[in-house]
Amino acid sequence: NAGVMQNPRHLVRRRGQEARLRCSPMKGHSHVYWYRQLPEEGLKFMVYLQKENIIDESGMPKERFSAEFPKEGPSILRIQQVVRGDSAAYFCASSQQQGFSGNTIYFGEGSWLTVV
Amino acid sequence: AQSVTQLGSHVSVSEGALVLLRCNYSSSVPPYLFWYVQYPNQGLQLLLKYTTGATLVKGINGFEAEFKKSETSFHLTKPSAHMSDAAEYFCAVRAGLGAGKSTFGDGTTLTVKP
């Protein structure tokens, strides 16, 4: 059973370009979470999605950032017009169901974005 | 609202010594608490979690943590450190209905000296 798959693992973008990060949840998982980890900091929640629905985007920056989890295919975190402050590790996690909040979630290995 | 404070951003112990990583939390709902380990350039791996029931929780790699409601603490311990324990450790508290929405502490880097 493959784990949470993220790609690319490393991405370099110039200021103003777009970054697209992809996340395939574990098999059987329909809940996806995106977190951002800035250098020397802990993880900060960004967004929680189910298939075709954004459940909680309270941690998403108001501009330039968007996320989707289509019926088919991976979840996508999209950052438009990247700036140097977007340089961070972006982690995706998935879980099986929402109902019990103690359910274990599984993290991918992250996508490291560097903006030059 | 929920928050997590990890006391000590860096902890150094000798191999074979006790490991103690401190975590205090605040939560407006009954807390679910987690400890994760992160090795360089890797994702997070769950060490252990407290949801309900027994307050002493045992996890992987010999780690355990005790939930103390009166002290709002969830400290992580291991009796004898191993070199392979060197990593960054994060404490987290459930922050919403979703299983995966958590508030994380800023992390504690554990160094193990030979």
Reported as a single tens digit per residue, the pLDDT across A73-108 is 999 999 999 999 999 999 999 988 754 555 678 899
| A66: pLDDT strictly greater than 80 | yes
Average pLDDT, chain A: 91
Tell whether B18 is within 8 A of chain A (Cβ). Answer: no
pLDDT band at B40 (very low <50, low <70, confident <90, very high): confident
CA–CA dist B112, B21 (Å, integer)? 13
Mean pLDDT of B50-60: 90
| A47: pLDDT strictly greater than 70 | yes
> What pLDDT, on the 0 to 100 scale, is given for residue B68?
94
Nearest residue of A to residue B96, measured between CA atoms: A101
> What pLDDT, on the 0 to 100 scale, is given for residue A93?
93
Phi, psi of B69 (to 5 degrees): -65, -40
Mean pLDDT of A69-73: 93
How far are the Cα atoms of B4, B19, B26 from residue B109, in angstroms, in the given order?
16, 12, 22
Phi, psi of A86 (to 5 degrees): -80, -10
Tell whether A43 is within 8 A of chain B (Cβ). Answer: yes
CA–CA dist B70, B83 (Å, integer)? 33
Q: What is the token pair recorded at B18?
A: 């006790």
Phi, psi of B57 (to 5 degrees): -110, 130
Nearest to B48 by CA among B29, B30, B38, B61: B61
Of B100, B102, B104, the CB nearest to A31: B100
Q: What is the rounded (10 degree) CA torsion for A96, B25, A85, A78?
A: 20
- Read off the pLDDT of residues A25-34 as tens digits, 9 standing for 90 and up: 998 888 999 9
